[in-house]
Structure 1
């Protein structure tokens, strides 16, 4: 069976996937024409990333599924024209990259590496950090990425707590859920990592009230979504000394505007949305597998729940 797959993503994505996707399709035994443009009625699947050419999915009446190259789907899940099944990206390369970034920054703050780097002034003043088992780290969001990061930190013997909107069970992690669970986790956490999806319920989850729940000097790490935090509230907590540091990889506006106060704040680290990137080789195999499953009549992987928004 010959299939037509429409690649609806910015030009930069096309350069990265124009060869990797056909290879993955061939490895999966699929006969596919990958194209940047096609008559809507001829399209069998759409590979999607934000800011691509397709925003109205209505004409694609024969499309079997829309397959996102992003783990987050907040830019598309509310599109009223999207009636086709939507699958988000869950990719081994993306997961490994996130685990490495999160683990690196947790260790950085746990060990006090910044202080050591800035104290090269000839003064011998040793500050010994606690062992990992005595450092409480909270992961907010226990989906694929949050779970992987929680397990990696637990393997390093950190005292890891996890929070999610619904009950989850992660070996070696003290899991909480719901409103009461969120407060309990934040009141205990010395380092908080945000890995929640962006939904109406999680937008500005970390506001002034919840920042006040944290122990004095706690560290906030956000590689999840920029809108999970209230920027002004975070800056106020840093200025008041309530929050010790904020390491931020994602922002409400990207690129982060040069005039934004995060850039110049001495207690903020900005990284340019690099915590994890979808790797074309592994992501292409995920796309190919989902197309193969659809053709075979098998359930799609990583199907988005429209009600929950992820």
Structure 2
């Protein structure tokens, strides 16, 4: 039996070394060096090869190397093959760091101070206590709940929204379409950590963003297709939104000359908010392989109907 890795080659070399140390009984190959396709039982990929049912006829599990699977064509993966998203500490810690720095920068007016520095202006902005800054996170999966748990420690007024009801200590939890407007109305900094599905594609549009208080800001760390970028630009220019910190865009990268590149109230990073760490990712995959062989449910296995 063989494990095939199809993603970043440099990280793949680390995966290969770790598999040799921790699972020497399992053959390991790096795409495109597949060897005998019939021997491949397990695949870890950012994007699986086309028509995996034909190219890898004995495939038993597909692991995503990322926290989501929206980049997969699930229709091309046989329904009997489990699809497992990556659940490992590196992704979580990276996202906590990124979102916290974004919230702190917005709360402490660092974006405004950067503009003042460009203009050679020395002017204090009145300091606001963290307790007066209302942060709302869209999506209460592993990443959203972890981010909120950390933000609470700074004293922010925290809330979260998801499709189904959750309970988190010290966090006001909203659920479903009926409670979305109330969640938005109390949110000064909106963080998007939703999975990308048919239901969330284009969710961050003018209609939704106008329901935020005037002067609210957006931190977008979900997927680029969540956001209607033209709507965001219009609301920034109108002054309804204050700032936007975007780690994801549609497409990636944005084409040269796109107005988001140079908008004075937009900051863009190249999809680096979090990433899997090979050491902990391999541990997570090997743990799931052990669970699979023992007949136990795998951590991160997706519900195909929901898409996550």
Residue 110 in structure 1 maps to residue 104 in structure 2: no
CA distance in 2, matches of 1:270, 1:300: 35
DSSP-derived class of the 2:74 partner: coil
1:90 counterpart residue number: 87
Q: Which of the numbers 29, 38, 50 marks the counterpart of 1:55? A: 50
Q: Which of the numbers 25, 28, 35 marks the counterpart of 1:38? A: 35
Q: Which of the numbers 136, 141, 154 marks the counterpart of 1:143? A: 141
Question: More deviation in 8-17 or 207-216?
Answer: 8-17
CA distance in 1, matches of 2:102, 2:27: 42
TM-score calculated relative to the size of structure 2: 0.92
Cα offset, 1:56, TM superposition:
1.4
CA distance in 1, matches of 2:175, 2:9: 41
1:65 counterpart residue number: 61
Give the CA RMSD over aligned residues.
Answer: 1.8
Cα offset, 1:17, TM superposition:
2.5
Q: Structure 2: 5+ residue runs without aligned partners?
A: none
Cα offset, 1:65, TM superposition:
1.0
CA distance in 2, matches of 1:181, 1:287: 37
Cα offset, 1:309, TM superposition:
0.3
CA distance in 2, matches of 1:250, 1:122: 31
Change (3 A) 1:179 1:281: same
DSSP-derived class of the 1:18 partner: helix
Cα offset, 1:75, TM superposition:
1.9
Contact 1:6–1:38 (CA under 8 A) maintained in structure 2: no
1:15 counterpart residue number: 13
Question: More deviation in 153-162 or 126-135?
Answer: 126-135
Cα offset, 1:296, TM superposition:
2.5
Contact 1:68–1:87 (CA under 8 A) maintained in structure 2: yes
Contact 1:24–1:284 (CA under 8 A) maintained in structure 2: no
1:256 counterpart residue number: 254
Q: Structure 1: 5+ residue runs without aligned partners?
A: none
CA distance in 2, matches of 1:38, 1:294: 24
Contact 1:56–1:82 (CA under 8 A) maintained in structure 2: no
CA distance in 1, matches of 2:157, 2:134: 5
Aligned residues: 302
1:78 counterpart residue number: 74
Residue 162 in structure 1 maps to residue 171 in structure 2: no
Cα offset, 1:122, TM superposition:
7.5
CA distance in 2, matches of 1:123, 1:63: 61
Cα offset, 1:200, TM superposition:
0.3
2:241 counterpart residue number: 243
Cα offset, 1:55, TM superposition:
2.1
Residue 101 in structure 1 maps to residue 98 in structure 2: yes
Q: Deviations over 1:97-137 (max 9, x none)?
A: 10001000100000101223443578664322221111100
Q: Deviations over 1:228-267 (max 9, x none)?
A: 1100000000111111011000011112222211111001
Contact 2:46–2:71 (CA under 8 A) maintained in structure 1: no
TM-score calculated relative to the size of structure 1: 0.92
Change (3 A) 1:43 1:125: closer
Cα offset, 1:79, TM superposition:
2.4
Residue 176 in structure 1 maps to residue 171 in structure 2: no
DSSP-derived class of the 1:116 partner: helix
